Amino acid sequence: MKVNVVNEGVKYGIIGGLLFLLINFGAWGIGSTATFVSVIGISSFIPYVIIILIVMGLKLRKANDNLLPFKDALKFAFVAYLIIALTEAVGNYVLYNFLDHDLTAKVFEISREKALKMMQKFGASDQQVEDAMKKMDSEAKQTTFKTVFLGLGLAIVWNFVKSLLIALVIRKEEKFAE
């Protein structure tokens, strides 16, 4: 049985994107910006998409007579990541620009406070702290289409690297007799 890896990538990309939206909008819906920042920070370190893609990629390989060429494994993972990245970009744009216009500024302020505490904890000089705070204060405090688009571009590059690693894990080439 030959499985369509692109269709499977789209399916698991949609699932990963919906999980992101659930986490993102759920954390925002709780009401506290501090909780939102914490949940988003924690969820970015939990490799739930990688785990899903490896498990489903191995299942895909098994359904394909226990063979999955590297090219097909890469297609599967990267298509899924493209769908997820697009979902994240659109979801973030909607959240920050339509649902909560002040969210970027609120998140910035929390991030600024955390950076200040961290710098003080690690013994940064008063001048270093002041310079860092000035630099942070000079940055834009809104999420524009340009910001989201640039973030999407970086996400696609990073997701391609992760797709390569996932493809290395789930691939299994056909062996030829000598």
- Tell me what pLDDT residue 6 has: 95
- What does the pLDDT profile of the chain (178 residues) look like in tens digits? 588 999 999 999 999 999 999 999 999 998 788 889 888 888 888 899 999 999 999 999 999 999 999 999 999 999 999 999 999 999 999 999 999 988 988 888 888 888 878 888 888 787 887 888 788 777 766 788 888 889 999 999 999 999 999 999 999 998 876 6
- Tell me what pLDDT residue 26 has: 94
- Distances in Å between the Cα of 12 and the Cα atoms of 31, 43, 63, 117 are 29, 18, 16, 39
- Distances in Å between the Cα of 64 and the Cα atoms of 15, 50, 79, 123 are 21, 21, 18, 56
- Tell me what pLDDT residue 61 has: 94
Q: Can you give the residue range of the structural domain that contains 33?
A: 5-101+142-170
- Look at residue 121 and tell me if it is in a domain: no
Q: What total number of domains does the chain contain?
A: 1
- Residues 104, 102: Cα–Cα separation, whole Å: 6
- Look at residue 122 and tell me if it is in a domain: no
- Residues 30, 74: Cα–Cα separation, whole Å: 37
- Look at residue 36 and tell me if it is in a domain: yes
- Look at residue 34 and tell me if it is in a domain: yes
- Look at residue 133 and tell me if it is in a domain: no
- Look at residue 178 and tell me if it is in a domain: no
- Look at residue 69 and tell me if it is in a domain: yes
- Look at residue 112 and tell me if it is in a domain: no
- Tell me what pLDDT residue 75 has: 97
